[in-house]
Amino acid sequence: MREANSLRTVRNKIILVVIVVSFSGCSFFAPSMQTIHVTSPPSGANVVAGGRPVGQTPVQFETHRGENLLIEVQKASYQTQYRTSSRSLSTIGTLDVIGGFFLLLPLFGLLSSGAWKHDPGQYGFILDPEKELGK
């Protein structure tokens, strides 16, 4: 009798874990940060991402996956360059979509930043010298 109750308890716990994982969506467990790489010829240019300075090229920095990102690269005597990253669905976000096809609740994972990624994750800027006025 005890063994039957013990097996029933283990089975119930396994079922509970499966239900919780199924309802949560994989993206809630994915990292919310992503590494972005920025390079430029000439190196040593200041990089500002999302309004905050992150270093000089070549540089890599961590940023939140859940928002679009404006990257600004500037160096004295060179024209400032700008790029805006776009977001795309990450592999884990795609799994949430597929899981949502069978059971609607994993779609809630798409609300988490782990469902997204910055695309691309690496940026190369070519800085052009500033043009002199009057020429």
- What tens digit of pLDDT does each residue of 93-119 get? 777 777 766 665 566 677 778 888 888
Tokens, residue 69:
């990102």
Does the structure show a pLDDT above 60 at 37?
A: yes
Domain layout of the chain by residue ranges: 2-124
pTM equals 0.71
**Can you state the percent helix, strand and coil of the chain, rounding each to 5?**
35, 35, 30
Residue 127 makes CB contacts below 8 A (sequence gap 6+) with 40, 41, 42, 45, 73, 75, 78, 79, 81
**Which tens digit of pLDDT belongs to each residue from 51-73?**
999 999 999 999 988 788 999 99
